[in-house]
Structure 1
Amino acid sequence: MSSSVSQGRIPAHSPPNHVVWRRWAGWLALIVIAYVIGESAEAVLPAAHLLAPLVAGLALAATGLTADQVPARLNRTCQAGLGVLIGSYLNPNTLEHASSAMLPLTVVTVATIGLSLLAAAVMARTGRIDRASATLGMVAGGSAAVISTAQDHDADSRTVAFLQCLRVALVAATAPLVVHWMISPQSTAPVTATPYTGGGWRVVTGDHQGIGLLLLAGVAFAGVLIGRAVRLPSPALLGPMLLTAAITAAGFLEEFAPTGLLRAFLFTIVGLDIGLRFTRPAMAHIRRLLPLALCCTVAISIACAGLAWLLSATVRIPLTDAYLATTPGGINAVLTTAVATHADVSLISSVQSVRLFIMVLLAPLVIRLFTPRPRPVGPGSG
């Protein structure tokens, strides 16, 4: 008799191989369907490959059609891919374009972080949500990465997703209208933010797709190992992100970041994973949170517009460029608007990319610093 049985424990049995394969085939089919839904919504929905699968997963969970969650292994793999994507933003071209405005950019980034923390404190105090969820929900940038790591920081991923998606939708909807108002009061046709696809059927940014995929897998795997070895918070995301940033900033390799189809599938998995967590009680809580969340998001957007005015006056760049460079996230819609209005895309992309990198890197540290730790319970604790 085995020791586990003699101690009164029943050993766990792995499911048969055909059950495992059937489960993974079901998840693959669901992800492909969610991707198709997101692709079809590109023309009408901001961040469609994130939001449309989220809504689809929400519908499945709210109607009780499924109670399953995206497998943890798949979720970690997705985080590693997102880490490589965000790390690739810190490339030599980005650093060169941002260097001329580094001091004002630093001030704007610090101010944006301060605004996010202030809004999070208001949300936590008056909205009856925990500080970690409020902080991650109000982080202005990197919505997909922030949402995917919410559980790593003991945050409610549904609340984080709701707050992040509300911010992205607000920025995407208002940026074209604000820029149109700034540059052309006489024009009658508003600027339309068409989808920023950036790659079509390509899966990595380089010309050699096979080699790029191998490099992507190697960097992601090595980054996760390094992240675990040095005990980074969210090692599956921050490890690959920091390793990719080091590689691309040094100018060694720049052609393995996810793009096009692969990037869309990464966003699809994140959206689907969060959508499946929306139960009916969670929906009721979010509905009560909407007025306060909308007020805080609008306040941050207005404050960032004020920072844009200061940046424009300091660095002497057009106000429209400064506004698009300092919007609180929504990078795809912002870049699309910049292209459509003939703005300085290089500057805007650089400022947004560097700030996105900094915000995603600092979010876990901010959680640790500003979230009170529970007091130990035991003799002498009272």
Structure 2
Amino acid sequence: MTQQTLQRPSGWIERSRPAVQWTALIGLSLGFGAVLFWLGVPAAMLIGPLLAGIVISGNGGKLRLSRHAFVPVQGIIGCMIARMLPSSTGGELGIHWPVFAAGVLSVIVASGILGWVLVRMRVLPGTTALWGVSPGAATVMTLMAEAFGADAQLVAVMQYLRVLMVAAIASVLAKVVGANPHHAVAAVTWFPAIAWLPFAKTLALAVLGPLLGQRLRIPMGPMLVTLVAGVVLVHHGWLSIELPRWLPAIAYAFVGWRIGLRFTRPLLAHAARALPRIIACSLALIVVCGAIGAVLVAVAGVDPLTAYLATSPGGADSVAIIAASSNVDVRFVMAMQMARFLAVLAIGPATARFLARRATANANAAAAAAASSTDS
């Protein structure tokens, strides 16, 4: 039997041209999104394209979104958040900073302890679990995991699968306890009349803000710079943010595709055997962060859905979209998400590196002890 005979036959998606794959991706995104929207699922325009991206990429599709294509999308999301945040947000966050600091540090410490326990239990090879449960900075953690000898592919699956799981769970919770009534299908006007001058100014902010954010080379700069600039401009009356519903929906689709298209066939095949353990690790972190959210509910009086979204270990952009589609305190959610993202970037790699060294040293010592006892 020849090698060609043994090869698995490729599907039509894998054989098709990029234009056909893009057409299939957009069609599936519209189909999934429409069904989820009809069911009343918050952030349906994010979850639908995300699922479509997994279907296309998992069946051999070769579509990818470059970082440059995603930059203006972050600008639109930044404008969307800026429109929802009142001008008094900064002062209120300054007053309640102990709550934010405690919440952020609790999530980071809890994820570190959980990762350490999972490494000691040898749930996944080497220090893979430690890097995989880091609550944010997925790209940074994946690269550092590879440098420390962990299975970078499994770390990538853990990071991006967790974003998918967080989005799915948050959407379900938002549907059950926090969905806004104005998101009913009959009440939505996808193509409203547009105030063209504010719309042009909004587009200018969505383009120039991300470019400045890129130039400053700060984490999440395109979205953060646009967000802050939007709040300042609105506060001083220099801008009225105009975002017809179809424009954020396009941005949501790009965010969903960016996550879903990462689940390539080789990545899924590599992680297939370890998938139950990967899901268990991700669920463990989500449960731990949910417990921290429950503490915020009890101590700080935060409503449950706001607390869950604020502490959830998913991507800041996807959480922002779900928050915008739900009846939650958006400023609280985004402040804690951004603060945790910056804290993870500042201390997360060093902490994970320290724990990885300790875990490796302990594993080597245990192996040496076992070898010594065998020789004797």
TM-score by length of 2: 0.64
CA separation in 1, counterparts of 2:107 and 2:54?
27
User: Paired residue for 1:99?
Assistant: 91
Is contact 1:193–1:336 with CA below 8 Å preserved after alignment?
no
**Cα separation, partners in 2 of 1:88 and 1:226, compared to 1, 3 Å:** farther
**Shift of the alpha carbon at 1:134?**
1.8
User: Paired residue for 1:305?
Assistant: 294
Are positions 1:76 and 2:76 aligned together? no
The one of 273, 276, 280 equivalent to 2:269 is 280
User: SS of 2:353's equivalent?
Assistant: coil
User: Paired residue for 2:335?
Assistant: 354
Are positions 1:271 and 2:259 aligned together? yes
User: SS of 1:200's equivalent?
Assistant: coil
The answer to which structure has the higher helix fraction is 2
Is contact 2:21–2:56 with CA below 8 Å preserved after alignment?
no
**Shift of the alpha carbon at 1:307?**
1.0
User: Paired residue for 2:115?
Assistant: 124
CA separation in 2, counterparts of 1:115 and 1:174?
22
User: SS of 2:261's equivalent?
Assistant: helix
TM-score by length of 1: 0.63
* Matched ranges for 1:58-77 at <5 A: 58-63=54-59, 65-66=60-61, 68-71=62-65, 74-77=66-69
Is contact 1:53–1:271 with CA below 8 Å preserved after alignment?
no
The one of 91, 96, 103 equivalent to 1:112 is 103
**Cα separation, partners in 2 of 1:300 and 1:85, compared to 1, 3 Å:** same
CA separation in 2, counterparts of 1:164 and 1:130?
16
User: Paired residue for 1:217?
Assistant: 207
**Cα separation, partners in 2 of 1:46 and 1:86, compared to 1, 3 Å:** same
Greater Cα shift, 170-179 or 125-134: 170-179
* Matched ranges for 1:80-229 at <5 A: 80-82=72-74, 85-86=77-78, 89=81, 93-97=85-89, 99-100=91-92, 102-104=94-96, 106-125=97-116, 126=118, 127-128=123-124, 129-135=128-134, 138-139=135-136, 156-175=155-174, 177=176, 200-201=190-191, 208-227=198-217
**Shift of the alpha carbon at 1:111?**
2.5
User: Paired residue for 1:328?
Assistant: 309
CA separation in 2, counterparts of 1:149 and 1:200?
37
**Shift of the alpha carbon at 1:366?**
3.7
User: SS of 1:284's equivalent?
Assistant: coil
CA separation in 1, counterparts of 2:88 and 2:38?
33
**Cα separation, partners in 2 of 1:242 and 1:333, compared to 1, 3 Å:** closer
Is contact 1:54–1:276 with CA below 8 Å preserved after alignment?
no
User: Paired residue for 1:372?
Assistant: 353
* Number of equivalent positions: 307
CA separation in 1, counterparts of 2:140 and 2:29?
21
Are positions 1:54 and 2:43 aligned together? no
CA separation in 1, counterparts of 2:32 and 2:280?
27
User: Paired residue for 2:224?
Assistant: 242
Unaligned runs of 5+ in 2: 1-15, 146-151, 311-318, 358-376
**Shift of the alpha carbon at 1:310?**
1.3
**Cα separation, partners in 2 of 1:243 and 1:82, compared to 1, 3 Å:** same
Is contact 1:205–1:256 with CA below 8 Å preserved after alignment?
yes
**Cα separation, partners in 2 of 1:165 and 1:224, compared to 1, 3 Å:** same
User: Paired residue for 1:10?
Assistant: none
**Cα separation, partners in 2 of 1:34 and 1:90, compared to 1, 3 Å:** same
CA separation in 1, counterparts of 2:27 and 2:216?
34
User: Paired residue for 2:7?
Assistant: none
Amino acid at match of 1:110: A
**Cα separation, partners in 2 of 1:268 and 1:328, compared to 1, 3 Å:** closer
CA separation in 2, counterparts of 1:363 and 1:198?
38
**Shift of the alpha carbon at 1:300?**
1.8
CA separation in 1, counterparts of 2:72 and 2:306?
27
Moved over 4 A (4+): 90-93, 146-155, 175-179, 190-199, 204-208, 256-259, 329-337
**Shift of the alpha carbon at 1:96?**
0.6
Is contact 1:167–1:297 with CA below 8 Å preserved after alignment?
yes
Amino acid at match of 1:279: L
Is contact 2:213–2:225 with CA below 8 Å preserved after alignment?
yes
Are positions 1:262 and 2:250 aligned together? yes
Percent identity reads 13
**Cα separation, partners in 2 of 1:281 and 1:206, compared to 1, 3 Å:** farther
User: SS of 1:70's equivalent?
Assistant: coil
- Cα deviations by residue, 1:17-71 (Å, 9 ceiling, x for unpaired): xxxxx966345424422431342223445543443333333334444x33x2504
